[in-house]
């Protein structure tokens, strides 16, 4: 588990470390890591370090000091380093002295360079780049390495409301911050440099592939189809038969012991997945251990009645798509429900549930909905957020946007529902399903098997779910984390 710290939390961790160390010692440690990353980028992009040129855009905060100390270290490795001081009267004195002593040059504008270091704004910065800084950034044609965060991007929300840096690499210190997940495309590759911060936890975190692989249910020697988890899928309609096929197929692929499908599309589901047990009504379905309700199943009074019946049970329930639209109109259906409940909205469905879109602070918005309704909420996006009612939020940064295609959410719902039926908590089931779904999208688009990924549809994504789960399990094994079969 990697914990993700807000700017205030990160500063609280740093403060005693900086206070206990000699002046500039921690900053020099950070700068050494930054200089190493810049040197590695030069070697990769240019084939050498010595003889190359690096430009620094230096603001008034500690990030500017980090950039200047790193520039001094790069000078000692034979790099020509120039710096633009965007706040000359407030430039970090220690960093500027070291930079000048190394032979670094202060210039009014950057010339032709191989890389640019963005040290404009630090953790305290808010809002878009100021006009002068934005003008310098617009003139940059070389790749940018940002210090801590791309300047102009909000550190805690990832929001951008004006000119901002887009980095090829972001080098941060001690701990990852929300911006690195919530605005990952702006950050590029993120490198965390160790500066000696103490171990700590917080309410925002992300799980890696090995951790997800380790919790993914696998059958043990005494398991049967019932003990592995029986999931009921109430999805699809005459208008949207594909939703039932995709959701049911995903539950099958996610290793459910048995899948029971309820709806009008049973013949179509059986055509694709003959192992599924179908029924026309919930009463005919038989015993299940969790329900997935909503993808393509309608929003009329009949749909509302069926959803109400499912929510009245004491079984775990995942509500998606049309089911969320019904809930938005009849929020009282959740009143008094004590069994595990997982809502999986996209931004539009979130707005219907709450009366407003998530806004720039998606973490705060999803956390508030989960606490208000006493349920777990998975808010879909490039960075998918899973919020528990107690305030914990898990983040899955997908690594791509290939899953942004019609029917992709039906697949995710089926996967998460299968994990609920297997006994995982809504928080763990949603987090694991989101990570496997993201990986399946990458594998379906080509992964490393093509020189360039190709567009996909939801059915192609579904076909890669088994490979994604297998990859996650393999990574758990490589990390020595794979659990024994249950």
- Binding-site residue ranges for (6S)-NADPHX: 62-66, 122-128, 148, 243, 296, 346, 410
Q: How many CB atoms lie within 10 A of CB 335?
A: 9
DSSP character at residue 9: H
Residue indicated by tokens 């380790």: 214
Q: Are 86 and 133 in contact (CB under 8 A)?
A: yes
Q: Which two tokens stand for residue 68?
A: 């200047």
Known binding-site residues equal 62-66, 118, 122-128, 148, 151, 243, 296, 346, 380-384, 409-410
Q: Specify burial of residue 16 (Cβ count, 10 A radius: 0-12, 13-18, 19+).
A: exposed
Distances in whole angstroms, Cα of residue 328 to Cα of each of 189, 210, 350, 427: 39, 36, 9, 22
* Order of strands across the sheet that contains 277-279: 2-3, 204-206, 393-397, 383-387, 376-379, 341-343, 317-319, 290-293, 230-234, 258-262, 277-279
Known binding-site residues for AMP equal 380-384, 409
Spatial CA neighbour of 148 closest among 43, 67, 72, 54: 67
d(C-alpha 59, C-alpha 282), whole Å: 63
DSSP three-state, residue 472:
helix
The three state secondary structure string of 31-79 is HHHHHHHHHHHHHHHHCCCCCCEEEEEECCCHHHHHHHHHHHHHHCCCC
DSSP three-state, residue 4:
strand
Known binding-site residues for K(+) equal 63, 118, 151
DSSP character at residue 199: P
Q: Are 36 and 194 in contact (CB under 8 A)?
A: no
Cβ-Cβ contacts under 8 Å for 412 (sequence gap 6 or more): 250, 344, 378, 380, 403, 433, 434, 437
Q: Which two tokens stand for residue 402?
A: 């290939």
Residue indicated by tokens 């921690």: 26
The distance in angstroms from the start CA to the end CA of the chain is 22
DSSP three-state, residue 128:
coil
Q: How many CB atoms lie within 10 A of CB 202?
A: 15
């Amino acid at each position: 588990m990697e914990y993700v710290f807000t700017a205030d939390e990160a500063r609280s961790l740093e403060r005693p470390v900086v206070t206990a160390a000699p002046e500039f010692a921690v900053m020099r440690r950070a700068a050494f890591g930054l200089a190493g990353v810049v040197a590695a980028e030069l070697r990769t992009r240019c084939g050498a370090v010595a003889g190359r040129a690096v430009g620094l855009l230096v603001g008034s905060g500690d990030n500017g000091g980090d950039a200047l100390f790193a520039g001094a270290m790069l000078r000692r490795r034979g790099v020509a380093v120039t710096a633009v001081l965007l706040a000359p009267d407030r430039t970090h004195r220690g960093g500027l002295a070291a930079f000048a002593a190394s032979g670094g040059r202060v210039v009014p504008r950057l010339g032709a360079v191989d890389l640019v270091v963005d040290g404009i704004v630090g953790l305290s910065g808010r809002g878009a780049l100021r006009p002068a800084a934005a003008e310098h950034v617009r003139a940059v044609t070389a790749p940018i390495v940002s210090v801590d965060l791309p300047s102009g991007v909000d550190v805690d929300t990832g929001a951008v409301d004006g000119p901002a840096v887009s980095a090829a690499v972001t080098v941060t210190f001690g701990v990852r911050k929300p911006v690195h997940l919530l605005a990952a495309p702006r950050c590029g590759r993120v490198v965390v440099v160790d500066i000696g911060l103490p171990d700590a936890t917080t309410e925002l975190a992300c799980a890696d592939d090995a951790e997800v692989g380790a919790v993914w249910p696998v059958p043990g020697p005494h398991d049967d189809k019932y003990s592995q988890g029986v999931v009921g899928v109430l999805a699809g309609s005459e208008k949207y038969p594909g939703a039932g096929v995709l959701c049911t197929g995903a539950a099958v692929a996610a290793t459910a012991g048995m899948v029971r499908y309820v709806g009008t599309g049973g013949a179509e589901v059986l055509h694709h997945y003959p192992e599924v047990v179908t029924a026309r009504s919930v009463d005919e379905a038989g015993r299940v251990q969790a329900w997935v309700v909503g993808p393509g199943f309608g929003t009329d009074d009949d749909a509302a009645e069926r959803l109400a019946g499912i929510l009245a049970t004491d079984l775990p329930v995942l509500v998606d798509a049309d089911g969320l639209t019904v809930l938005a109109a009849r929020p009282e259906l959740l009143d008094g429900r004590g069994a595990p409940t997982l809502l999986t909205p996209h931004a539009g469905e979130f707005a219907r549930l709450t009366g407003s879109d998530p806004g720039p602070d998606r973490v705060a918005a999803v956390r508030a909905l989960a606490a208000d309704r006493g349920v777990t909420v998975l808010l879909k996006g490039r960075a998918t957020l899973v919020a528990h009612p107690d305030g914990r939020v898990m983040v899955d940064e997908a690594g791509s946007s290939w899953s942004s295609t019609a029917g992709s959410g039906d697949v995710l719902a089926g996967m998460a529902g299968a994990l609920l039926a297997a006994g995982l908590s809504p928080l763990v089931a949603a987090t694991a399903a989101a990570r496997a779904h993201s990986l399946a999208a990458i594998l379906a688009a080509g992964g490393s098997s093509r020189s360039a990924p190709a567009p996909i549809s939801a059915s192609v994504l579904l076909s890669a779910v088994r490979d994604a789960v297998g990859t996650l399990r393999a990574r758990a094994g490589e990390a020595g984390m794979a659990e024994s079969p249950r």
